[in-house]
Structure 1
């Protein structure tokens, strides 16, 4: 009995001592009031900490009297610090802590035991310029993640975009000045990648995938938030780059493959000053690659430094740069005649030997490109933040550019080569100031962005004129008969820089410098009427000031345009299923043009309204089975009006009033049905037609920029999770499209490129710090072509081997 009383006394005394220690607890959510699982909650300058549970709750016990600061970090969200103090065995419950998504710098590196649905990343602050989840966004967009690119051993930007639903390559990057980047069809319209981290980032070459965190493809006209300079009627392509994070680490990767491919990539992140929250990251790559044809190559050196500085919890700065030095031969597409029938109506009749490049490695283009961005984020209050952004781009072209065109004069499927020496440069400046708010008016939640935007582009062109440089036939024949001279000639045209220089010596050199400015104000508001019902309303006022050729004041003009946007979204199951509809607008400024037959007197300047594109769309989005299945199904209808065309009755006159209709549906699936298996699939069907035009050449026909009517993609990747095969995996996939028009005019008839389906496969071994992989592209060695008034052969079967090491 005595021993029992002593033991009981000890227990009571111990409880009294323990009761002198305090606890702190709380709830952490995102800005939609959804609980966040696995948030890191640490007490600064101590070893105490925890993570939130599935309900977003945390508790830290055994605190003695004193003042403390909670450090809260979560990947993809803004870091927060919260101060509190305890005394006399308090149990403190903090008010709900909200973490905001966004362009996070200094994100804590979180090693995840299992990340579900690695091929899907739909949390982004770029698409709507707001921290808005895909499930609550009434606009449709596709995301291509870095995990997907790694699983496919992707070494080029064109291959990366094969994973974006409804995107099809029209032609590869040519490197020529002004528009040398690749062209892609999207919802029936051509588009080039011109956005980096939501800001203009131009290139005359191709984009290096070494610095890509993800690619976001926004669907439909998007001028309300992004303007018309970097978007098309079909949408836009935004490249999100890798950013600095808290910690030290990196990766080294080497890929070698068929046709002389060698690519080495480095990624390194470190703290320049942990005390001052100053972090630095650099991504770099060196690539050399030859062609499957008899000539052609590309080599490039790329470096992307980035810096982040968190001054305090309210103020942070970021710097991002991409610098590329590239040299390549330009792909010599076969350009079909756009005004008269080609002798051959298909590839078989053309007799095309696609192993011939019709160029030489002595005729090259250099494409140096630089993109820089500075960002300042400042928290004005708990409900408002300021975002100040400046971007600068410079892209140049120097060297020889040639094209092959069927003028239909010499017969025998003869294509004439014309060549010039390029010397061009494009400079852009963009300045944005955004104010982003998340607040309630009465009981209605509002997420608002209000911004002003200034964009300037200056182009300089000091290129030579184009000179005739021989003829070829698609099967390898050649001759020197100039189709524009009456006599039959037989001159020799060697494919060398000295030979080309001799011919170009008689050509004039351009001295053109042109400039335009765009001044814009925009606003967008997502209003939650209930937790499940929201609407998005946006408007842009755009002032276009064109200085044109600086030596010619007659081509100056101004245009003012309004661009509205509206969307509505209902979630029958909160954060799992949404039904949406939207109206989106795009526009294009049209320059005044001189009209009238000069033989009848002086021409007059005719003014045009901007072209307008309006889209109506509706569909369903899902995020179910604990993020194991993301799906988007949508139907869209885009109508472009007020298109300016050449008067068919007079080449000296222009007519405004043409209309194009583009409509279709898209399905995209991202699934993680079982642990280790990730699946990506997409299907798109598009109907495009010029429904109104005084030009009978194109009336009631599918526009060439629309690409194929049907496109599809699929990729499945499985990694064994246990047993002797743990770490081993394989990937299987395909991508393809229906036939497409290379030419489709009344007078020329049709030249159709056939449909294709390309199969790809990979095997790999993933260990803790390294990965080994083999990838087979075009496994069945399919011969296929793409084009846009052109015929462009695609790469045959190719094998890639990759090794990467993480540290």
Structure 2
């Protein structure tokens, strides 16, 4: 029996009106297009193409083609993404004829999605990116694209890395407000590079560096990074500054807890071969009452890039900031000195200039040259509430960096790269914990790396030599503290013994979607000249071994899954003992040898878009850190064993909801405690953030958003005496032209 339901003409009219109001589009309109590799022009299969602020989208077929039906006439934005490629947003207009065509090119990054075995070509075009890291390290390198930073509403460089695998952020109130570490590797902390140029003294700036000026982040968690930076132990974060493919202007205004205000105006575009970017921003907050936590920051950014053809580019950028920042007062159990002194940066100013160029000499060679100059001028003010005295210190420093990398393809499937690095750093008055100890150092390094592909097997080997001349050096410290070493005599005009490191790497692709990656680095570090132990003998040479081994699975439908084992081992590690000795009128710091290592597992799932609306991610890192103590290996309890992050993004035509969560297991801390007090518990918390964005006026590209940080109001801490402020709320509006 068939039942027919009659619907009145008026009801049908209301239903049609509601459908058009909800979907805002003409049923007949559609967008057709192709997605290709920007380097090879090969069609890309499985790329997600989604109309921004809608649920409309599709994936490309085997020929790179896609069709999206039910599109409204007028302007719209296509968000295009594919694992192994840099995501893009493309603007276009659907005309009255009801059909629009577009050709989209994606730039490959560290994780290619569709290798073409028959050509025997490298997954990376090394000649176009001479500083790219070994393919064997793919599983230990994460790229954070701009679209992810926007979805998570990251405000600063550090914010953008909060949910990376194994990331731990130590929030403090001191001169360096936030320290970032991965996989239990601290002291030293990870280094930073800007547009591929390593920065020696950058720790104070990530908190001030606006995410609006960042195109993407390349986070190299492995301690075996060879071609970016001069650090060998804790990894490198490479900040790639903002670029535009077409004209765009954005304005943003935000207000929130503790009378916080944030504003931004940015503009960029591209005219023929010349692209440009610029921005102005400010941030101001009073902070919690009676905590000495007021801040105000103003920053500016500019960049110009000229790329007349695929063989040559020249670009320069500038970043400037001026800020006043009060140093947050600590609370018990921190030592009383940290809550009796009212300190502030008044002000801090910084200028960072970069210049880079690449010239590709045909199909077999390329040369890349990069340079940077940084000038930082922090003025530090300290008021002691007990003595009613105010002290002022100036802690300026500047550095010059130069990187030169030559890549040569000797024969098919083989590439050799040679690199030269130079850094000159001067801190005439010292700074932070070594204020009053002038520093002037020059570091030279050379790298040679060879890569060979044998079908599905990739092999590489590298060698690095590094040597530093101390024109003057007095920044001796233990765990970023000069306590006990303040009377040590600075070293003057002395060459340090060279450091050597060798690397071996391999990657094997079982199929187009399953691959195995392994990398090992090993080296020997000799004690610097004049180094002595408490027995007044020279310490033994330090032996270093670092390894990353893992497997990954790529799927256009489900995304990327990886599992990695990592190890950093130091036998006879040369460490400061904390003791000093006066010899012939000269105060010497004393060293010791001890074994220490960090090992663990890291798993990560980065989902593709599910049903064109939902995109989850999960990562979990287990770290076991040990060090020798009285002849036995004991766990280093000052680092959490478990670090887990997860998120769920739901994107619709009018409403976008992002849930973000993080868990740190319990650990202990000793820094900032009074002398004689045993380490105190830290961590052991779950933090949840909720972000809701409403596309209020789709046609004018106006968006309203609301952020709820620390949803459960947890007063957790990652540093002694500096707990989180608790639940915070922010609301803002963004307008894009």
Q: TM-score range by the shorter chain?
A: 0.7 to 0.9
Please point out which of 371, 392, 404 is paired with 1:433: 404
Give the superposition deviation at 1:310.
2.6
Give the superposition deviation at 1:268.
0.5
- Other structure's SS at 2:550 match: strand
- Other structure's SS at 1:734 match: strand
Deviations 1:556-608 (A, max 9, x none): 2322122111111111112x2211111035787854456589xxxxx98x766
Cross-structure match for 1:520: 445
Does the 8 Å CA contact 2:429/2:438 hold for their aligned counterparts?
yes
Give the superposition deviation at 1:643.
2.3
Does the 8 Å CA contact 1:224/1:585 hold for their aligned counterparts?
no
Give the superposition deviation at 1:738.
0.6
Please point out which of 647, 653, 661 is paired with 1:734: 661
Cross-structure match for 2:682: 753
Does the 8 Å CA contact 1:763/1:774 hold for their aligned counterparts?
yes
Please point out which of 604, 607, 610 is paired with 1:668: 604
Q: State the distance in 2 between where 1:32 and 1:537 align.
A: 27
Change (3 A) 1:561 1:418: farther
Higher alpha-carbon Rg = 1
Deviations 1:263-313 (A, max 9, x none): 111220145xx46x2332102211112222423111111111000123445
Q: How does 1:322-721 map to 2 (within 5 A)?
A: 322-333=319-330, 350=333, 363-401=344-382, 420-438=391-409, 440-441=411-412, 445-461=413-429, 510=436, 512-530=437-455, 532-549=456-473, 554=492, 556-574=494-512, 576-585=513-522, 591-593=528-530, 611-625=542-556, 628-645=558-575, 654-671=590-607, 672-691=609-628, 700-703=633-636, 707-720=639-652
Does the 8 Å CA contact 1:125/1:132 hold for their aligned counterparts?
no
TM-score by length of 2: 0.74
Cross-structure match for 1:479: none
Deviations 1:652-685 (A, max 9, x none): 7734421111101111111122202122221111
Give the superposition deviation at 1:75.
9.7
Change (3 A) 1:608 1:592: farther
- Other structure's SS at 2:396 match: strand
Cross-structure match for 1:250: 249
Please point out which of 172, 179, 197 is paired with 1:183: 179
Cross-structure match for 1:765: 694
Does the 8 Å CA contact 1:280/1:307 hold for their aligned counterparts?
yes
Give the superposition deviation at 1:200.
2.4
Change (3 A) 1:462 1:314: closer
Cross-structure match for 1:8: none
Give the superposition deviation at 1:611.
4.5
Cross-structure match for 1:472: none
Pair 1:299-2:296 in alignment: yes
Change (3 A) 1:524 1:764: same
Please point out which of 283, 287, 297 is paired with 2:279: 283
Q: State the distance in 1 between where 2:648 and 2:65 align.
A: 36
Q: State the distance in 2 between where 1:54 and 1:296 align.
A: 56
Cross-structure match for 2:162: 162
Change (3 A) 1:592 1:137: closer
Give the superposition deviation at 1:55.
3.4
Q: State the distance in 2 between where 1:416 and 1:189 align.
A: 39
Unaligned 5+ segments in structure 2 are 1-33, 48-59, 67-78, 93-100, 113-123, 475-488, 583-588
Does the 8 Å CA contact 2:252/2:732 hold for their aligned counterparts?
yes
Cross-structure match for 1:68: none
Deviations 1:204-244 (A, max 9, x none): 2423222122222212213532343xx3623222222212x
Q: State the distance in 2 between where 1:641 and 1:185 align.
A: 22
Deviations 1:483-508 (A, max 9, x none): xxxxxxxxxxxxxxxxxxxxxxxxxx
Change (3 A) 1:588 1:55: farther
Q: State the distance in 2 between where 1:577 and 1:543 align.
A: 40
Q: State the distance in 1 between where 2:269 and 2:581 align.
A: 62
Cross-structure match for 2:234: 234
Give the superposition deviation at 1:641.
2.7
Give the superposition deviation at 1:649.
9.4
Does the 8 Å CA contact 2:173/2:330 hold for their aligned counterparts?
no
TM-score by length of 1: 0.68
Q: State the distance in 2 between where 1:648 and 1:399 align.
A: 27
Q: State the distance in 2 between where 1:403 and 1:806 align.
A: 47
Give the superposition deviation at 1:799.
0.8
Change (3 A) 1:439 1:717: farther
Change (3 A) 1:382 1:137: same
Cross-structure match for 1:410: none
Unaligned 5+ segments in structure 1 are 1-25, 40-51, 59-73, 78-99, 335-346, 405-414, 467-508, 598-602, 721-725
Q: State the distance in 1 between where 2:427 and 2:311 align.
A: 39
Change (3 A) 1:623 1:771: farther
Q: State the distance in 2 between where 1:637 and 1:383 align.
A: 36
Q: State the distance in 1 between where 2:253 and 2:42 align.
A: 41
Does the 8 Å CA contact 2:306/2:314 hold for their aligned counterparts?
yes
Q: What is the aligned length?
A: 625
Give the superposition deviation at 1:181.
6.0
Does the 8 Å CA contact 2:614/2:649 hold for their aligned counterparts?
yes
- Other structure's SS at 1:739 match: strand
Q: State the distance in 1 between where 2:647 and 2:352 align.
A: 32
